[in-house]
């Protein structure tokens, strides 16, 4: 199979990444509904709906905003404006969704943590989306820098690059299994599972960014890396507790 993978249907090229992105949303949501039915949700249906809407709005704004900030110095033109409006990133979506949830919970007066039910559906959704990123090769900005190592792959431009999306796919499998075991063996407070997910995933993304050809840096860090540090600062109490428990 050649990468980028561009299947055709009736002489039309199919955007495989877009197809898998929509599929990721659908399957992840159905998985969430299944988990909510199996678990005793302490949050009422009306409040849960408000939280989901807050998460969706926050994710929409966050994903676009951080996507734009990855290259804010791009020249202003009609083509660039359209491209910038379509640019999005899962990192901005996750953190924006988190803020959207917190705002929604304050407005409706909900005090219970609401993130645990979203953890595994989110991981599954990201996994499906990353398959699309990998198959899209250099058509999506999820490819890596050039490398001479045995891990290098031709992602469509004839150069051996780090298959960053493939690295993340492997990591997501490990993360899913690891958090499942923690959930089954460790007594966690309500909301802690989601915090663990955010801390581990954002830490991974901080380091994997060094393998991407970013073009905009602040203090030697990309926009995504700065967002990762902000997220870890947001959860600094949980991070400190993890280190204490590790000792």
User: Which 3 state secondary structure label does DSSP give 218?
Assistant: strand
Please report the pLDDT score of residue 246 as a whole number: 60
Is residue 184 in some structural domain? yes
Q: Please say whether the dihedral angle defined by the alpha carbons of residues 33, 34, 38 and 39, taken in this order, is positive or negative.
A: negative
Portion of the chain with pLDDT greater than 70, in percent: 92
Q: Does residue 163 sit within a domain?
A: yes
Domain assignment of residue 130, yes or no: yes
pLDDT tens by residue, 96-144: 999 999 999 888 888 777 788 899 999 999 999 999 999 888 887 788 9
Asked if pLDDT for residue 86 goes beyond 70, the answer is: no
Taking residues 182-198, report their average pLDDT: 88
Question: Is 63 inside any structural domain?
Answer: no
Q: How many domains does the chain have?
A: 1
For residue 87, is pLDDT > 80? no
pLDDT at 63 over 60: yes
The verdict on residue 100 lying in a domain is: no
66 falls within a domain: no
For residue 84, pLDDT beyond 60? no
pLDDT band at 73; cut points 50, 70, 90: low
Q: Which domain holds residue 182?
A: 8-42+112-246
Q: Tell me which residue of 203, 179, 206, 181 sits closest to 193, measured CA to CA.
A: 179
User: What is the pLDDT at residue 78?
Assistant: 53
Residue 176 lies in a domain: yes
Average pLDDT in the 220-237 region? 93
Tell whether the model's pLDDT for residue 7 goes beyond 70. yes
pLDDT on residue 113: 78
**Bridge partners for 15 per DSSP:** none
Model confidence band, residue 239 (pLDDT cutoffs 50, 70, 90): confident
Q: What is the mean pLDDT of residues 60-88?
A: 68
Mean pLDDT of the chain: 86
pLDDT of residue 1: 66
Asked if the model's pLDDT at residue 231 lies above 80, the reply is yes
Q: Give the range among 38-52, 125-139, 149-163, 216-230 with minimum mean pLDDT.
A: 38-52
**Of 38, 61, 58, 60, nearest in space to 50 by CA:** 58
pLDDT at residue number 15: 83
For 215, the token pair is 């073009």
* pLDDT for 198: 95
The 10s digit of each residue's pLDDT in 150-185 is: 999 998 888 899 999 999 999 999 999 999 998 888
Q: In angstroms, rounded to a whole number, what is the distance separating the alpha carbons of residues 210 and 223?
A: 12
pTM for the whole structure = 0.89
Virtual torsion, Cα 10, 15, 16, 21, nearest 10 deg: -130
Report if residue 162 sits inside a domain.
Answer: yes
The residue among 54, 96, 71 whose CA lies nearest residue 227 is 96
């Amino acid at each position: 199979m050649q990468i980028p993978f561009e299947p055709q249907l009736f002489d039309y090229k199919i955007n495989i990444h877009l197809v898998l992105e929509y599929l990721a949303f659908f399957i992840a949501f159905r998985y969430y509904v299944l988990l909510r039915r199996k678990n005793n949700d302490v949050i009422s249906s009306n409040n849960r709906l408000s939280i989901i809407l807050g998460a969706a709005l926050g994710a929409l704004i966050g994903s676009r905003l951080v996507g734009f900030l990855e290259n804010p110095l791009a020249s202003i033109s009609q083509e660039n404006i359209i491209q910038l409006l379509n640019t999005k990133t899962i990192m901005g979506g996750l953190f924006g969704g988190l803020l959207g949830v917190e705002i929604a919970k304050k407005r409706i007066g909900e005090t219970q943590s609401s993130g645990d039910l979203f953890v595994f559906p989110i991981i599954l959704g990201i996994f499906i989306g990353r398959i699309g990123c990998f198959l899209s090769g250099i058509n999506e900005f999820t490819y890596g820098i050039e490398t001479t190592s045995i891990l290098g792959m031709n992602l469509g431009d004839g150069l051996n690059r780090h298959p960053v999306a493939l690295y993340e796919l492997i990591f997501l499998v490990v993360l899913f299994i690891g958090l499942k075991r923690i959930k089954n063996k460790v007594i966690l407070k309500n909301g802690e599972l989601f915090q663990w997910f955010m801390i581990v995933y954002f830490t991974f993304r901080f380091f994997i960014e060094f393998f991407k050809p970013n073009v905009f840096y602040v203090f030697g860090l990309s926009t995504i890396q700065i967002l990762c540090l902000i997220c870890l600062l947001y959860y600094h109490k949980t991070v400190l507790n993890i280190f204490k428990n590790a000792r």
